[in-house]
Structure 1
Amino acid sequence: MHNKFNKLTWAVAVAAAALASQANAGGYQINEQSVSGQGYGHAGRSSNVNDATIVFGNPAGMSFLDRAQVTAGGTYLNVNSEISNVEASRTLDAGVAGGGAPIGMQVPIGDVPGGNDGDMVPGTLIPFAFYAHPVNERLAFGFGVYAPFGSKTEYENDFQGRYFGDYTEVRVISAQPTVSYRFNDQWSIGAGITYNQVEGELRRQLPSEATFSPENDIDSRVDGDDDGWGYNLGVIYQPVPETTLGLTYRSKVEYTLTGDFRAYDPAGEVVRADNAQLDLTTPETVNFSVTQQMSDRLKLMLGASWTRWSRFDQIHVINNEGDTITQETQDYSNAWAYGVGGEYQLNPQLALRAGVTLDFTPTSDEHRSVRIPSDDRRIFSIGAGWTPTENLTLDFAYSYLTERGTQVEQSRGDLLDPDAGGPAPALGGTNYSADYKNEAHGFGAQLTYRF
């Protein structure tokens, strides 16, 4: 085919990869690094020390553990999406539509064939594992492996918005060695480095003729991977034994993504192959929380998280020669998330938990995509921790996430181009708009063993 495939596909690929790999507020966020924390909505993420998952929540908290322990588990996410009020139209150059030569002006010629089933996010299990080892009363070491970011959407083959993206999968795996030092009964600090691997695959379709029939589409795909280093810092302060304040900082991570592009015709033959690269910086985040012991059995938690989303103001993709392929403004805003939760120790063996989280999206209506059609969200959680023996705790949690209904509105005027990237006018384009309503159910379980 032609260079237009590479330009269009990478523009969408970068947008999806950035959203999925950076999402800390809005988008498809992965918060599932602790099932005990999930039970109270992660409200005490930086201040409540339950088990070895504090390696992720706040590295300073490891020195508050009384003995070595390992925590492992996972959360299964089931996401449901409804799509309504769909408008999907196609356009054609007015001259071509009239049977003549192209004149450079698009006119509508009907709807894009296809459907809108929704429920495009498959069920996913997100695992994690942590180990924390107090060396003495002041010094502790720890290590964790977890998935901090990720996204997957997979629409049906004839999805009416397929020209803006019909498959997205981005996965990030992080490994984190950590150290913590406790100065006294009040102050503790911690630090960790993170080694992060990201890989993903993104697909979209391109029409090959004026009817936009899905059977004749060009299947364009891009995949790539990279790794990068980051760090996090934490501090815990206990002014009195009943009150714990925690603050955690997670650094930005810089990637240079490299990938291969392939476009396949309906017969499965490669009609275009190329490569490209982009620089991507994930933004820094800050989490603050306070845990208050109200009585021997009850403690309450409050938390807030801030993400410097304003770093993500544009998409800039280049080829191997350094030439610009696409450069688009994104204009993201810094975002906040807030949580409140509690834990009640019913008896020495059983703890009950509950929490509510408000998570605000950094995206705008202007730039929202079919790949990640999310908006502000509310998350309601319940959980329990069962300790049948002194050395063993089993934690369970359930979360219900509901998002504000949102709209996606996108348009392309350069989908049918008779020239290989030259000055000839585009022969056709497409417009897609729809209302999305998303909800999710999270089922978590973890095991903690103390040595």
Structure 2
Amino acid sequence: MVTNSRSTLSVVLAGNKEEPQFLIRNDSVITCVKLSSAKHNTGLANLSGVIMRFPFNRKVLLASAIAAASQAGVVNAAGFTVNENSASSMGTAFAGRASNAEDASIAASNPAGIAELDRAQVTLGSAVIMEGGNFEGEFTGAGGQSIAKTQSEDFLKTTPVPFGHYVQPINDKLTFGLSGYAPFGLNLDYGDEFAGKYFGDKTKIEVINLQSSFAYELRDDLSIGFGAIVSKASGELTQSSHVPLSPSEGTAEVKGDDTALTWNVGLIWQATDATTLGMSYHAATDYKMEGTNTVNMSGIIGGVVNGEHDAKLDITMPERVMFSGTHQINDRWSVMADATWTRWSQLDSVSVESSQGDETSSYVPMNWNNVWALSLGTSYKVSNDWTLKAGYMFDQSPTTDENRTVRAPDGDRNWFTAGAKWDATEDLTFDFSAAYVMLKDGKINEEKHNVVDGEDGGVDPSYGELTGEYTDQNTWILSAQMTYRF
């Protein structure tokens, strides 16, 4: 227990392995949450609330929010985009994400939205993306001979994506916010028997944003906002190395990271008493990642040098523009919409430059397209305590059958979502949401490119090619969050 002149912090973890509990409380009433499950339960749990009295300190909750977000994993979204920074927004398929200021999580989509919040608050939560994805294909040599032919399952790995947001009004006009979330990421692992391991086996990209937001109310119906962001990117790429006309094989592993500065800006306008419009711009982020390239080749006379070498990768994550609207039909029904444009054409290639020269460097053309994500959602207020949500989003992919790679086996997505909001007390709200994401099947025909003087040297016809099809990449995403208002 920690105390000061204004408040007392007490955090209690109770129960046992089968029935863990946690308790949090301010100067008034809060809920004790207990997760109960049978010893051999497959993961479903019963949630029950018991009203308790319990004081706490907002600074510790804020620290918890940032610590949780800094551990965010990565997922496979359209391109490398990660949408899961708000359980309340996911319930409507992210429709209204830049206009519907339900809680502090709006800061990640539109920093101006925090001006709509009249109380200090913290939002803590996490999404979990379930595994999935099947691939069936073949790697053939230059002469057409089959070198590897396999089927890979569940290469999209289960990944948690925690997030945290804090908002503090300074005065009647100015509001400050602090957020931690993952805007981009990817987590693939095909396994050692994957036919395409000569182009890529494991791909893990993590991007974590720590954002300070400032919103100012220009007039009663119009606010602007600005976010200053420190963005940390890290990556790990592995693959097997195939030597044409030789029984020799090897492995290569590239690791690197970088920290960059970026920003976003937004507007939110109360067009009428029932309609709110929001718009935001998220700037591109340039990373200059530096790390190591570990090579292990055997049986190659005059080949590359084994060991750990310096490597670097310059990559740009694209800018995005969001347009959102929220309309309250009556006391119970509201509808939302969103259109988000992402400039993925900035990612024309992924090139790893090794200190050992062209032999251990790599070049992968991407040639991605700019894309739109379009969503519609609705919410229905069942009672004073409960609100139900549903939504649909078409999430366009930057890849096609002509430019798909094993590092980004992407496809157009259709999101079907549902959610519920529970106002446990005037100060405490829980949001729960689920999404079923259907990915379009796609084909792949990938060839290796040579590197000459650090540049693209064209296709290497002697290396061979990977052909195949990605199917059944549908997946479930579950998300939950808690919002506490001070």
State TM-score, norm by structure 2.
0.77
1:252 aligns with 2:284: yes
Equivalent residues of 1:121, 1:152 under 8 A apart: yes
Query: Secondary structure, in 3 states, of the residue corresponding to 1:183?
Result: strand
Q: For residues 442 and 382 of structure 2, what CA distance do their matches in structure 1 show?
A: 41
Q: Which residue of 2 aligns with 1:27?
A: 79
Q: Which residue of 2 aligns with 1:221?
A: 253
1:327–1:220 CA distance, 2 compared to 1 (3 A): closer
Q: For residues 56 and 298 of structure 1, what CA distance do their matches in structure 2 show?
A: 25
1:236 aligns with 2:271: no
Aligned residues: 401
1:74–1:279 CA distance, 2 compared to 1 (3 A): same
1:433 aligns with 2:446: no
Equivalent residues of 1:199, 1:226 under 8 A apart: yes
Q: For residues 427 and 359 of structure 1, what CA distance do their matches in structure 2 show?
A: 35
- Compute the displacement of 1:112 (Å): 1.7
- Compute the displacement of 1:219 (Å): 1.4
Q: Deviations over 1:398-431 (max 9, x none)?
A: 000011110111124879xxxxxxxxxx895222
Q: Which residue of 2 aligns with 1:419?
A: none
Q: For residues 288 and 171 of structure 1, what CA distance do their matches in structure 2 show?
A: 26
Query: Secondary structure, in 3 states, of the residue corresponding to 2:114?
Result: helix
Q: Deviations over 1:250-278 (max 9, x none)?
A: 011111111211112479xx824322323
Q: Which residue of 2 aligns with 1:77?
A: 129
Q: For residues 276 and 383 of structure 1, what CA distance do their matches in structure 2 show?
A: 44
Q: Which residue of 2 aligns with 1:183?
A: 218
Paired AA for residue 83 in structure 1:
F
Q: For residues 215 and 225 of structure 2, what CA distance do their matches in structure 1 show?
A: 4
Match of residue 326, structure 2, among 291, 296, 317:
291
Q: Which residue of 2 aligns with 1:17?
A: none
1:377 aligns with 2:429: no
Query: Secondary structure, in 3 states, of the residue corresponding to 1:112?
Result: strand
1:22–1:249 CA distance, 2 compared to 1 (3 A): farther
Equivalent residues of 2:75, 2:186 under 8 A apart: no
Equivalent residues of 1:414, 1:427 under 8 A apart: no
Q: Which residue of 1 aligns with 2:102?
A: 50
Q: For residues 25 and 361 of structure 1, what CA distance do their matches in structure 2 show?
A: 9
- Segments of structure 1 that go 5 or more residues without pairing to the other structure are 1-20, 92-106, 416-425
Paired AA for residue 49 in structure 1:
A
Q: Which residue of 1 aligns with 2:168?
A: 133
Match of residue 92, structure 2, among 40, 54, 59:
40
Q: Which residue of 2 aligns with 1:90?
A: 141
Equivalent residues of 1:201, 1:224 under 8 A apart: yes
1:412–1:314 CA distance, 2 compared to 1 (3 A): closer
Paired AA for residue 280 in structure 2:
T
Q: For residues 77 and 57 of structure 1, what CA distance do their matches in structure 2 show?
A: 20
1:431–1:319 CA distance, 2 compared to 1 (3 A): closer
Paired AA for residue 435 in structure 1:
E
Equivalent residues of 2:141, 2:463 under 8 A apart: yes
Equivalent residues of 2:74, 2:82 under 8 A apart: no
Equivalent residues of 2:235, 2:256 under 8 A apart: yes
Query: Secondary structure, in 3 states, of the residue corresponding to 2:407?
Result: coil
1:82–1:330 CA distance, 2 compared to 1 (3 A): closer
- Compute the displacement of 1:312 (Å): 2.4
Q: Deviations over 1:300-343 (max 9, x none)?
A: 00110011222223445545699995666533221111000011
Query: Secondary structure, in 3 states, of the residue corresponding to 1:119?
Result: strand
Same amino acid, percent of matched pairs: 35
Paired AA for residue 75 in structure 1:
A
Q: For residues 445 and 167 of structure 1, what CA distance do their matches in structure 2 show?
A: 28
Q: For residues 278 and 299 of structure 1, what CA distance do their matches in structure 2 show?
A: 46
Paired AA for residue 293 in structure 1:
Q
1:194 aligns with 2:246: no
- Compute the displacement of 1:54 (Å): 1.2
| 1:269-418 superposed matches below 5 A | 271-318=306-353, 329-412=365-448
Equivalent residues of 2:134, 2:155 under 8 A apart: no
Q: Deviations over 1:212-235 (max 9, x none)?
A: 6xxx63111100000100001010
Equivalent residues of 2:362, 2:450 under 8 A apart: no
Paired AA for residue 295 in structure 2:
A
- Compute the displacement of 1:62 (Å): 0.9
Paired AA for residue 313 in structure 1:
D
1:440–1:55 CA distance, 2 compared to 1 (3 A): same
Judge which range, 371-380 or 274-283, deviates more. 274-283
Paired AA for residue 430 in structure 1:
G
Q: Which residue of 2 aligns with 1:104?
A: none
Equivalent residues of 1:207, 1:217 under 8 A apart: yes
Equivalent residues of 2:98, 2:280 under 8 A apart: yes
Equivalent residues of 1:63, 1:137 under 8 A apart: no
Q: For residues 256 and 275 of structure 1, what CA distance do their matches in structure 2 show?
A: 13
